[in-house]
Amino acid sequence: MSTGGRGVWNKKTKVDEVRSIDALDLQRNGVFSKGADYSWTASWRRDGEVVASVTYRVECGENEPSGLRFIYSITSKETGEKRDYNYIIPVVTTRCNYGGKRWWFVCPLVVNGHSCLRRCRVIFLPPGAQYFGCRECYGLTYESRQRHREKFYEGFAKPYKAAEAAQRKLARARSWTKKEKLWRDLSHAYAAIENFEKILTRPKRIPNISYKEK
């Protein structure tokens, strides 16, 4: 992501192309101290080319900013229809133990009829979504790559290797007792692989997500 007050700074695009905006990054770059007439732009690049951008400006309350107004367009990949978005995401502050204050977004989404209103540092716009919101509303996780590798190894790579080993031993086995044990091992390995494939292809329940006016 790159963003700035009529300027930019660079940051790599999130995994799975989930676009995000971090309130702490905005605070460090002075977004909340510039006033209502100051506009900023966040952009995302792929191979050096801008593929998405969002304009936002501070909405002022009585003594300090009360929210950020987000302005952007989304073009449907299916129909080619372009839709414009212009809405406010509230912001609040908390006092830090070491002095000063920290800014947070207040998630504006309504999920299955329930307003979120969670305080969050980062807001996300996943592929296919219309509004920025918190990771809980969109079901996003922070699982590490190591965790994904462990799941893949235990669910697929390990039983696959076990199946290959059982097949090799089965070709050399002579006794029926040995063959029966290898057939059981092979059956268990295939069952584990099939179960892992079912988990990967299991359809996810899609929540009804909308934006709540401030």
Task: Name the nearest CA neighbour of 207 among 121, 109, 118, 120.
Answer: 109
Asked if 83 and 71 touch (Cβ cutoff 8 Å), the reply is no
Structure tokens at 68: 């950020």
Task: Give the Cα separation of 142 and 108 in Å (integer).
Answer: 21
Domain ranges of the chain: 2-141, 145-201
**Each residue of 7-58: pLDDT tens digit?**
332 333 233 457 888 999 889 888 888 777 677 888 777 777 777 788 888 8
pTM for the full model? Answer: 0.59
Task: Name the nearest CA neighbour of 115 among 102, 130, 134.
Answer: 134
Q: How buried is residue 56: exposed, middle or buried, by Cβ count under 10 Å (0-12/13-18/19+)? A: buried
**Each residue of 70-104: pLDDT tens digit?**
999 888 777 888 889 999 999 999 988 777 899 99
- Residues belonging to the chain: 214
